[in-house]
Amino acid sequence: MTGAQGFLIVLEGIDRSGRSTHAGLLEAHLRHHGRGVTRTSLGSSVLSADALRRAKRGRRPDPVEIALLSAADLAERVERVVDPALRAGLVVVADRWTGTPIARAELRGVDRNWLDRLFSFAPSPDLVALLDLDPEASLARRGEPDPYEAGLDLHLADDLRESYRLFGARLAGWFEAESRRRGWLRVPASGPVDRVEARLEAAADRIVGLIGSGRGRARTKAP
Amino acid sequence: MLIIRFVPTRPIRPPGLLVAVEGIDGAGTTAVASLLARWIERRGRRVHVVAWEASAPVRRAAADGRTRQSLTARVAALLVAAEAHRRTDDLVRRPIGAGDVVIADRYAWTGVARDLARGLEPGWIASLYERLPAPAVVVLVRERPGRAIGRTIDGRLPPGQAEAVAPAFGAFLDRVALALDDLAAGRSPGPWPARTVVLDPDGRLEVGLAPARDAIAAALDGGEGRAA
């Protein structure tokens, strides 16, 4: 897509790192300053969300099938929500984009080049903020983790929470390496909510032009 | 003193093999798959004919007014590819792993050709299927879309409705047929390189099948089967 006027801001990070909370706060902040905002999140499509949930809960989850369903989920949201919003000049705040599905599949042995190609239809974000949280801290935030998100199918540990710790550490390492490679903004997410919020708002303000001139540009497709 | 021991060994199992029979709707792929299956069985191999129809999720979505609008070409392509992968373990990998022959009554090329006909990028589409087991032989059953369309919609739709949908469906079948020809000729990238046999629409089926049998025999004898 070329000539897009809107902005795509993505929040990535491991489970329970506060993405959806901060997506909501960022939306409120941008709206308060007169920006039109649309939000979207992984697994919220009409056509693929149920199939994606079923595939993750299967006896032997297939990471290739799940990557394809994640791509279908994202494609639907890109075509139905994100692209029209960007063309209309809105800010799109996305709770996870290509990073999470690629990380989950690559950590299960799926070829990275194939994954990058699979998701190559997705518009490249103007800003990716990684909410950096230790898996141990994320585990303390809520109850039982989801078995697939805990990597239970990888047989790292029999205990769900221990598996989550081990798989979460791998995910955190993947996100750290990816954020360095791609120049993502890393925001420590273990601190108070208002401190995280302030950092995200400052970064978003620079991108959308509430501070300085903004970074409007012709958008390209990239992972 | 010489001691001879008999060491029990596993029986030698021939490698499994996948054959894909591709073609547009109404081309006669089922008849060809069935004839090939009988011929392979006569050679002493166990054969599974798999009706490979991975578009069920898309058909369901298209039939529902609430979901139809979300069903773009790209979303449909991804849903079909995901369904194909979901079914592969049971329908293809397991029997091939047991040393059997699987004949897929349509396989990845059909999905790729339909997506090409809908205008998606060839390289991207091919990559959706490259993680599936590769067939040792692809048999493309060519048929004139005008003739195939009659077999596909006649009798399935009420009078009047068949005539109404025929032009649009015919145009789509034309594009799918061209896309299959491009795959067979290597003009479009396929998911994997495959030995391809093309059956002519006007030839006698028994005669046309000979090169397909030769290719399959070579694959069976040469151990080109693909273990899962």
Domain ranges of chain B: 17-147+173-221
pLDDT recorded at residue B154: 64
Contacts of B74 in chain A (CB under 8 A): 75, 79, 121
Between B158 and B67, whose confidence is greater? B67
Q: Which residues contact B4 (CB under 8 A, 6 or more apart)?
A: none
CATH of the domain at A131: 3.40.50.300
How long a stretch of residues is chain A? 223
Structural domain count, chain A: 1
Q: What are the tokens at A222?
A: 């990239």
The nearest CA of chain A is from the CA of B24 a distance in Å of: 24
Residue A41 lies in a domain: yes
Residue A17 lies in a domain: yes
Domain span at A127: 7-208
Residue B181 phi, psi (nearest 5): -60, -40
Instruction: Name the closest residue on chain B to residue A111, using Cα atoms.
Output: B131
CA B193/CA A118 separation, integer angstroms:
20
- Report, as an integer, the average pLDDT of B32-45: 95
Using one digit for the tens of pLDDT, what is the confidence trace for B175-195?
999 999 999 999 999 999 989
Residue A139 lies in a domain: yes
In Å, how far are A93, A104, A203 from A197, measured between CA atoms? Answer: 14, 26, 10
Looking at this predicted complex, what is its ipTM?
0.90
Residue A133 lies in a domain: yes
Using one digit for the tens of pLDDT, what is the confidence trace for A107-142?
999 999 999 999 999 999 999 999 999 888 888 886
The nearest CA of chain A is from the CA of B106 a distance in Å of: 19
Measured torsion, CA atoms of residues B66, B67, B70, B71, in degrees rounded to the nearest 10: -140
Residue B152 phi, psi (nearest 5): -80, -45
- The predicted model scores a pTM of 0.89
Is the pLDDT assigned to residue B84 strictly greater than 80?
Answer: yes
Residue A75 phi, psi (nearest 5): -60, -45
CATH, range B17-147+173-221: 3.40.50.300
Residue A1 lies in a domain: no
Between B7 and B119, whose confidence is greater? B119
What DSSP string runs through A71-97? HHHHHHHIIIIIHHHHHTTPEEEEE--
CB B212 within 8 A of CB B188: no
Ramachandran region of residue A34, left (φ > 0), alpha (ψ -120 to 50) or beta? left
How long a stretch of residues is chain B? 228
Residue B3 phi, psi (nearest 5): -110, 125
Residue A66 lies in a domain: yes
Helical segments of B89-144, H only: 94-97, 108-117, 122-129
Of A47, A62, A80, the CB nearest to B79: A47
Within 10 angstroms of residue B8's Cβ, the number of other Cβ atoms is: 4
Q: Give the best residue of B55, B58, B64, B79 to mutate against chain A (max A CB count within 10 A).
A: B79
